[in-house]
Amino acid sequence: MPTLATQLFREVRPDFFGVLTRPAARLYVDALDALEFEAGQRNQGLERQEALALIERAVEQHGDLNTADDPVTQAATVHDKARIVLDTLRKTGWLLEEERTDWQRLVFFDPNGMVLLQALRKIAFPEAAVFSDKLVNVCFTLTNHDALAEQPWAQIESCVASLQAGLVELRGMQKSIEHHTKQQLAAATLKENLAVLFDQFAERIGRTCYAQLVQARLPSKLAEARRAIEDLETNPDLLTKMQTEVMRRDPAVSPEGAMAHVRLRLDELGIEFPALLLHDARIFGGLESLYTPRLLLLPRSKINTLTKT
């Protein structure tokens, strides 16, 4: 099986990603954003002049760029800079240019470029942090002895998938808290500082996913689920039942290989639980740093409102 790098660079040119690391990368990213958005509104490609006009707007927005390491910033006019950007995007594989029989030149956005640009947008504009019932369901399943006894392997596989998804949610919450903390530290005035806390954090996180996390009583449930995993690891009947199910699904696997696979899955669950507790502790630690120093500056009525969320 080819490696990720081998397969990736079969699909894109080696300098495809270089656009994002150029000295004028900010200009290229905004030009790509405008081009992809406009291309998405049409069934056909953009005329070359239309594409140049969109890039010219991005060039004007980045008029402060001035680096000798990128030819685009050394061009004399806005039009010349836009032409260099367009040619660079075409040569690196972000854009495809087609010449029609009527001599019209159309510009198309490469499908791989669309995928990467969508990922860049998600990084730049992350979705609101969420805390669903995935982790709670994992804890409930692992402590539900009847369900485990009936279909242990199916339950364990489901728990592994839900546990990984739940970790992603906690990491998202932790990152959001860190982001808001940085915003507070950068605030120039008390008004701006409190706006981050009450208008942004409390509305987007404090009264939604954080409140759900508190209500879930996750630390105690995680401890119970961890003990259930330890019991499962020493239960010969359930281990044999899971081993049998693995062999039924894959007749080519040996009994030893099937048992190794079962124990690997159980180990994955055991390893993830300390990570969950760590993220949980970091979230509450981040919340303490976010809230506590500012509470001394607030009216008692505001404090009471906040602590109820």
Domains and CATH numbers, the chain: 4-123 (1.10.10.10), 126-307 (no CATH)
Q: Mean pLDDT across the stretch 117-132?
A: 80
Q: Which residue has the tokens 């959001």?
A: 176
Q: Would you give the end-to-end CA distance of the chain in angstroms?
A: 51
Tokens of 192: 């701006």
pLDDT in tens, 198-221: 666 655 555 556 666 667 777 778
Q: Quote the DSSP letter at residue 177.
A: H
Burial (0-12, 13-18, 19+ Cβ within 10 Å), 290: buried
pLDDT of amino acid 237: 93
3-state secondary structure of 47: strand
pLDDT in tens, 154-181: 999 998 888 888 888 777 777 777 776 7
pLDDT in tens, 287-296: 444 444 444 3
Q: Mean pLDDT across the stretch 114-143?
A: 84
- Alpha-carbon distance 33 to 27, whole Å? 10
More confident residue, 293 or 21: 21
More confident residue, 237 or 168: 237
pLDDT in tens, 36-79: 999 888 777 899 999 999 999 999 999 887 777 778 877 889 99
- Alpha-carbon distance 206 to 203, whole Å? 6
Tokens of 215: 């209500």
